[in-house]
């Protein structure tokens, strides 16, 4: 029971830290006169994936090949893009459907979004390739080549995004800095202080969360697949959920999409390096293949509708998530006799 209480408390603090982080980003943009694109790509996406970095690193580096911790780490790496591409878009749709309607338009820079999605498909192909190669051989030269390809793809993506022009009006309004109400003002120093504080809190409480989750999974015999691919990514994506929903509600659709796509790019290029270096990195069982297919379907849904993206497309991604969950659990129960 103590583990469950700690788990709930750590999740609560992660949520609060996410609010502080979002509030800091808004003020950072205004106080330092930084473009919305730069804030959403560099600060928003990289900062918001800290829990996704911390949890796999902690899980993998504290485990050994084949044990639960390593499985949690690899599963969390694969589960992040799956949750972001399906469930997060669905949740965002639920928050804006009342205002925009089922066929409401998503206001985007269609040309740049199409390029973003192409970058993702390239990176995802390399990720699939890395798992296939690891299934055949563990040659260090090949591993280093794959790592180079992943890093190169991510750097090219970031350089392209930073140079991407803004085709929309930036609003220089924002809510007051949270620590302003604690008497610390809203100076540039206060903005940076709150930003760093929120990142430290997210990192610290994410570590507590993964420890609690592992203990609960062991005690109640919860499937590693359910834990690492479904439960942990949902919690670690809280920042992306919060930030994207807030920006969608504020009609800052481009910033929201930038955070989500950029976070996925980080997760399919940089995070797999941890798995390649420190695990067997073999993930070609049925459930992992299912996750890959569902993620690709969700992203392809966005790609083919990029010129007329609507709220209904986001809702469809939620259906993909549901299908993936049902099939994944069914296979676990029917074929592997796993207890939950």
CATH number for position 83: 1.20.1420.30
Residue range(s) defining the domain that contains residue 278: 2-335
**Residue 340, in any domain of the structure:** no
Higher pLDDT pick, 201 / 165: 201
Please give the Cα distance from 56 to 40 (Å, whole number).
24
| Residue 73 confidence (pLDDT) above 90 | no
Q: Where are the alpha helices (DSSP H) in the chain?
A: 2-31, 36-38, 46-48, 50-61, 68-83, 89-100, 110-136, 140-163, 188-220, 224-225, 232-236, 238-249, 253-269, 271-278, 286-304, 311-335
Q: Are 153 and 270 in contact (CB under 8 A)?
A: no
Please give the Cα distance from 42 to 51 (Å, whole number).
16
Question: What tokens does 89 get?
Answer: 């878009």
| Residue 290 confidence (pLDDT) above 70 | yes
Q: Are 153 and 269 in contact (CB under 8 A)?
A: yes
Hunting for tokens 């749709």 — which residue is that? 93
- pLDDT value, residue 161: 81
Q: Are 115 and 159 in contact (CB under 8 A)?
A: no
| Residue 145 confidence (pLDDT) above 80 | yes
**Residue 12, in any domain of the structure:** yes
Q: Domain total for the chain?
A: 1
Cα–Cα distances (Å) from 235 to 65, 240, 275, 318, in that order, read 25, 10, 20, 17
Q: What is the pLDDT of residues 83-128, one digit of tens each?
A: 889 988 998 899 889 889 998 888 877 888 899 999 999 999 998 8
Cα–Cα distances (Å) from 263 to 12, 44, 156, 237, 243, in that order, read 22, 8, 15, 9, 12
**Residue 289, in any domain of the structure:** yes
Q: Are 202 and 50 in contact (CB under 8 A)?
A: yes
| Residue 24 confidence (pLDDT) above 80 | yes
């Amino acid at each position: 029971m103590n583990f469950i209480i700690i788990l709930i408390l750590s999740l609560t603090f992660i949520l609060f830290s996410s609010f502080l982080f979002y509030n800091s980003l808004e003020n950072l943009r205004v106080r330092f006169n930084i473009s919305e694109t730069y804030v959403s790509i560099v600060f928003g996406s990289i900062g918001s994936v800290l829990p996704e970095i911390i949890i796999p690193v902690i899980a993998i580096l504290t485990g050994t090949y084949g044990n639960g911790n390593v499985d949690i780490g690899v599963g969390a790496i694969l589960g992040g893009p799956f949750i972001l591409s399906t469930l997060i878009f669905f949740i965002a749709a639920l928050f804006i459907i009342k205002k925009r309607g089922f066929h409401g338009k998503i206001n985007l820079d269609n040309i740049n979004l199409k390029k973003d999605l192409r970058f993702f498909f390239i990176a995802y192909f390399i990720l699939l390739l890395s798992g296939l190669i690891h299934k055949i051989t563990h040659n260090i030269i090949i591993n280093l080549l794959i790592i180079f390809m992943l890093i190169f793809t991510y750097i090219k993506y970031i350089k392209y995004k930073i140079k991407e022009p803004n085709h929309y009006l930036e609003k220089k309004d924002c809510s007051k800095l949270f620590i302003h109400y604690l008497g610390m003002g809203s100076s540039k120093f206060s903005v940076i202080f709150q930003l760093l504080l929120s990142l430290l809190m997210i990192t610290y409480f994410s570590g507590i969360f993964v420890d609690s989750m592992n203990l609960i999974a062991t005690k109640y015999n919860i499937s590693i697949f359910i834990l690492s691919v479904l439960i942990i990514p949902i919690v670690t994506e809280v920042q992306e959920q919060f930030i994207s929903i807030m920006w969608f509600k504020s009609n800052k659709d481009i910033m929201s999409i930038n955070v989500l796509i950029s976070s996925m790019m980080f997760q399919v290029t940089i995070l797999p390096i941890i798995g390649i270096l420190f695990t067997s990195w073999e993930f070609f069982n049925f459930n992992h293949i299912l996750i890959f297919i569902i993620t690709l379907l969700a992203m392809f849904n966005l790609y083919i509708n990029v010129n007329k993206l609507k709220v209904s497309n986001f809702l469809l991604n939620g259906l993909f998530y549901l299908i993936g969950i049902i099939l994944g659990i069914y296979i676990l129960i029917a074929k592997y006799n796993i207890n939950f």
